[in-house]
Amino acid sequence: MEIKRLYHQVRVLMIPGSKKRVEYLKRKHIFRSCGENVYIQSRKIPLYANLIALHNNIRIASNVTFLTHDVMHTVFSNIEKQDYQEKLGCIEVFDNVFIGSGSIIMYDTKIGPNAIVAAGSVVTKDVPAGTIVGGVPARVIGSFEDILKRRKRNEYPLEEAPNNQRVEKKLENYLWNKFNSNKV
Q: What pLDDT does residue 151 have? A: 78
Q: What does the pLDDT look like over 60-77, one tens digit per residue? A: 999 999 999 988 888 888
CA gap 74, 46 in Å, rounded? 20
pLDDT at 184 over 70: no
pLDDT at 1 over 70: no
**Residues of each domain in the chain carrying CATH 2.160.10.10:** 3-143
From the list 22, 39, 44, 52, the residue with the least C-alpha distance to 97 is: 39
> What's the whole-number mean pLDDT along residues 134-154?
89
Q: Span 3-143: which CATH code?
A: 2.160.10.10
Q: Kindly report which listed range (63-77, 99-113, 125-139) carries the lowest average pLDDT score.
A: 63-77
Torsion angle of C-alpha atoms 97, 9, 66, 40, degrees rounded to 10: -10
Q: What pLDDT does residue 96 have? A: 98
CA gap 60, 4 in Å, rounded? 24
